[in-house]
Structure 1
Amino acid sequence: MSKVHDDLHPEPLSVKDGLAVSKSPWGADDEIGRLNWLHPESIAAILGRLDGRKVFDLAVDYFPGMPSWSEAGDPPFDIWMTHTPQGSIVDGRSGYGPEIHETYSYSGDAISMYTHCGTHIDTLNHMGYRGQMWNGWTADKDLGSKVWTKGGSNNYPPIIARSVMLDVAGAHGVDCLDDSYEITPADLQDAVKRQKVELRKGDVVMVRTGRMSRWPDRDAYLKTSPGINLASAKWLCEETGAMSIAGDNIGLEPQPYYDEYAPVHCYMFATAGAQIIEVVNMEELAAEQVYEFAFVGLPLKLYGSTGAPMPCVAVPLR
C-alpha cells in the first residue's frame, strides 16, 4: 500500500540515502510551510482566551559581545553612533548647521549583525539536502545576486498560536541539562506526562534545556549546548503536529555537531517544512510553571533572508 501524503507527511520530491526534500502540500508557490496552518479562525480562537494580566517576554537583549553564532565566522552584533549631539554641532553632517543642533540635539545609530543573532526564526531556505531546499528550491533558479528569491521572512505572517513549553531540564530536576545532552522522544514524553499538557497539531512547541540560565556568559552559553536529537524532531513534527519548534539554546539541536551537520535543521526545513525558533528565554515561564499559553511572534520582514530577529511573547490563557 502506498503511503498517504498530507501536511504532516508531505510527498517527497527527492530521496537519497533516506534524506528527503519535500513537495509542499500547499502548492508550488508555497514559501512558508507549516505556517499555512495559521488562519483567521485559529488566531481568533487563541486570542479569545488571553489572560492579559501578565505577559512573558521571550526575547533577549541585543548588545556588543552577546552570545551569537560564530562557528562559521558570521559577524557578531555591533552597534555604533552615526550622529551624536555634540558631533552634529562640530561636523554638520545633518546639513542643518551648528546653530540648529545647539538647540535641537540629535542622536542616531546603526547596527550590523548576522540574521541568526539573538531571539530569531530560521526560514525554510536556510538549509536543505544536496543543494535542494523545501519545495524544490535550488540556487540555480532561486538564488539571486544577494538573497534567495524564495522563502524569505518577508513572506511570514505574525505567528499567533497555541504554545506548550516542555521543561526537560525541570523534568530532570536540574537548572540546565548536561553539556551536549541529546533530548530524546522519551524525555519529551516524560515532560508531557509530568506537566499534564497535551500537544496538538499547529502548536509552537518550546523545549527548555535550561541553557538560558548561562546567559549572557558567551562560552558557557554557546559551547557544548544540549538540544533535541533528530528522533525528537521527527516525533514532534510527524506524530504531534508541531507547527514550529523553539529552543532556549543557540541551535535547537546539541552542540557540537558530530557525525552529521545540523541534521535537525535540515530535516525540519527540507522535509517537514517547519520553522525553528532559537535563543528563546523560557526562564520566567519555567519559574512560574506556565506550560500552556499563546505564542505571539513578529518576524522582521527581511526579503529573501535565511533568518530574522523575532520579538516574541507568551500570554497565559484563561
Structure 2
Amino acid sequence: MTTAERDRVHIAQIEEYLTTLSNWGRWGEDDRLGTLNLITPEVRRRAAANVRSGTAISLARNLDPLRPDPLHSGVTNVQRDSKVGEVRHLLGKEARWDAVGEEITLSPHGGNAHLDGLGHYYWDGLFYNGFPASASNNTIGSAHLSVSHATEGIITRGVLLDIAGLHGVPYLERCHAVHVDELLEAERRQGVQVRSGDVLLIHTGNAAALETLGPVYRTANPGPLDGVQAGLDISCLPFLHDRDVAAMGADGTHDVQPAQVDDFDFARPIHAVSLVAMGLWLMDNLDLTALARACEAEKRWEFLFTALPWRFVGATSSPLNPVAVL
C-alpha cells in the first residue's frame, strides 16, 4: 500500500469514527459533561475500595517558572510575579506581620499536566454535542463547554495499561503507534479490565524518554506537530467508546507523532474523535513513571484516581495534579 493509499484509508476511517463513535444526545441535547456522566456515585463508591496500601502518587510535574517547559513543547508561559511585603506596600510603613503574594500567568495547554475540556477541539464548526464554535470568542472563552462544568471533579477507578512494560522497556520507540491489540494484551498481562466510568492511563514511557534522551523533532524549527513521540493508533478509538472510558490520560499528547496521515486536518485523530464525537475528556502530559513502577511492585494496576480541575468559567483546560492512591 502506498502512502497516499494508506492516508485515504486512515482518513475514511477517522471520518467514519466521528459519526459511529458519537455520543451526541446520549445524555441529553444540553449535556456539557460527556463521558464524565459515567462517573456515578456507585462508580465512586466502588473506586474507593481499590485503596489498599494507601500509597499516594502524583502524576504531574512542578509548575516552575525557572523550568517552565520540562517537556520542551515550546509552550513556556509559566510566570510568577511575587509581591513581598504586601502590607508594607499597602500601609506605606512596616507592620509586625506582613505577607507574600503573587500574580500567576500560565498556559495550561502545553508542556505540563493538564486537562483538555470539551471546549478545546471542534470539527467542521461544531463542538461536542453540536454546540457551535461560533459562540465562543476571545472575550468569554468557551461559551458552552467550559471546564467549570466538571464541578464534581474526576474521582473514580483508575486503570494503568503499561504498554512500555508489556514490551519490557522503560519507554517505547518514539514513533511507536499503540494498537488496540496491545491494549488488550496489556489487560491480559496485568489481570485487569477497563470498565465503564474508569479513567484509563496509558504508559508509553514518554516522560522517561524525555528525561533520558531529551526531545526529538522532525524539523529544525519545530511547530506543534513536529515532535516525535509514541501514542495511540486510531484502532484504539472503538475500544475507548465500547469500554465507556470516562477520561483518559497519557504521558504525552495521546496522538502518535509524526501523524499517521499526511493531512493537517487529520493529524490529531485521537483528540478530534475523543473530544468532539465521544465527549471524552483527555489529560495530556502526565508523568506516569512512578505510578508504573508502583503498580509493578504491588502487582496491581487499579487504584483510586482523583483529579480536581479548577472551576474557571470559559476555560477550555485546567492545570492538574492528578493523584493515584493504591
TMscore range, shorter length = 0.7 to 0.9
Partner-residue secondary structure (3-state), 2:94 = helix
Q: Could you list the per-position Cα deviations for residues 36-64 of structure 1 after superposition, in whole angstroms to 9, with x for gaps in the alignment?
A: 11222221222244236311111211113
Distance, in Å, in 2 between the alignment partners of 1:74 and 1:204 is 26
Partner-residue secondary structure (3-state), 2:200 = strand
Any residues of structure 2 matched to 1:1-40 within 5 Å, and which? 17-18=15-16, 19-20=18-19, 22-40=23-41
State whether residues 50 and 302 of structure 2, in contact with CA within 8 Å, keep that contact through their aligned partners in structure 1.
no
Label 1:53 to 1:238 Cα distance change in 2 as closer, same or farther (>3 A).
closer
- Structure 1: which 5+ residue stretches go unaligned? 1-15
Residue 227 (structure 1) aligned with residue 221 (structure 2): no
The letter for the 2-side match of 1:256 is P
* Structure 1 outlier segments of 4+, above 6 Å: 68-71
State whether residues 211 and 221 of structure 1, in contact with CA within 8 Å, keep that contact through their aligned partners in structure 2.
no
Label 1:154 to 1:201 Cα distance change in 2 as closer, same or farther (>3 A).
same
- Per mean C-alpha deviation after superposition, the further-off stretch among 202-211 and 273-282 is 273-282
| Aligned-pair CA distance for 1:217 | 7.7
State whether residues 67 and 221 of structure 1, in contact with CA within 8 Å, keep that contact through their aligned partners in structure 2.
no
Partner-residue secondary structure (3-state), 2:121 = coil
Q: Could you list the per-position Cα deviations for residues 145-180 of structure 1 after superposition, in whole angstroms to 9, with x for gaps in the alignment?
A: 330121111110221111110100111111111112
Distance, in Å, in 2 between the alignment partners of 1:45 and 1:192 is 20
Q: Could you list the per-position Cα deviations for residues 218-242 of structure 1 after superposition, in whole angstroms to 9, with x for gaps in the alignment?
A: 952883111112211332x223221
- Per mean C-alpha deviation after superposition, the further-off stretch among 157-166 and 215-224 is 215-224
Partner-residue secondary structure (3-state), 1:95 = helix
Label 1:298 to 1:215 Cα distance change in 2 as closer, same or farther (>3 A).
farther
Aligned to 1:127: 121
Label 1:229 to 1:145 Cα distance change in 2 as closer, same or farther (>3 A).
same
Aligned to 2:310: 300
Q: Could you list the per-position Cα deviations for residues 89-122 of structure 1 after superposition, in whole angstroms to 9, with x for gaps in the alignment?
A: 9xx5x3212322xx43432222211122422111
Partner-residue secondary structure (3-state), 2:156 = strand
Aligned to 1:311: 321
| Aligned-pair CA distance for 1:315 | 1.2
Q: Among all aligned residue pairs of Structure 1 and Structure 2, give the percentage whose two residues are the same amino acid.
A: 24
Aligned to 1:167: 162
Q: TM-score, with normalisation over the residues of structure 1?
A: 0.83
Distance, in Å, in 1 between the alignment partners of 2:43 and 2:119 is 26
Any residues of structure 2 matched to 1:1-318 within 5 Å, and which? 17-18=15-16, 19-20=18-19, 22-51=23-52, 53-64=54-65, 65-67=67-69, 75-81=76-82, 83-85=83-85, 94-100=89-95, 103-117=96-110, 118-143=112-137, 145-156=139-150, 157-215=152-210, 219-220=214-215, 223-235=227-239, 237-249=240-252, 251-257=253-259, 258-259=261-262, 260-288=266-294, 289=296, 290-316=300-326
More helix by percentage: 2
The letter for the 1-side match of 2:255 is E
| Aligned-pair CA distance for 1:255 | 2.2
| Aligned-pair CA distance for 1:184 | 0.6
Partner-residue secondary structure (3-state), 2:175 = coil
State whether residues 224 and 255 of structure 1, in contact with CA within 8 Å, keep that contact through their aligned partners in structure 2.
yes
State whether residues 162 and 203 of structure 2, in contact with CA within 8 Å, keep that contact through their aligned partners in structure 1.
yes
Distance, in Å, in 1 between the alignment partners of 2:167 and 2:113 is 25
Label 1:77 to 1:179 Cα distance change in 2 as closer, same or farther (>3 A).
same
Q: How many correspondences in the alignment?
A: 291
Aligned to 2:4: none
Label 1:216 to 1:179 Cα distance change in 2 as closer, same or farther (>3 A).
closer
Label 1:285 to 1:69 Cα distance change in 2 as closer, same or farther (>3 A).
closer
Label 1:217 to 1:106 Cα distance change in 2 as closer, same or farther (>3 A).
farther
| Aligned-pair CA distance for 1:272 | 1.0
Partner-residue secondary structure (3-state), 1:99 = coil
| Aligned-pair CA distance for 1:34 | 0.7
State whether residues 118 and 128 of structure 2, in contact with CA within 8 Å, keep that contact through their aligned partners in structure 1.
yes
Aligned to 1:10: none
Q: Could you list the per-position Cα deviations for residues 180-203 of structure 1 after superposition, in whole angstroms to 9, with x for gaps in the alignment?
A: 211111111121111111121111
State whether residues 182 and 229 of structure 1, in contact with CA within 8 Å, keep that contact through their aligned partners in structure 2.
yes
State whether residues 72 and 215 of structure 2, in contact with CA within 8 Å, keep that contact through their aligned partners in structure 1.
no
Label 1:76 to 1:37 Cα distance change in 2 as closer, same or farther (>3 A).
same
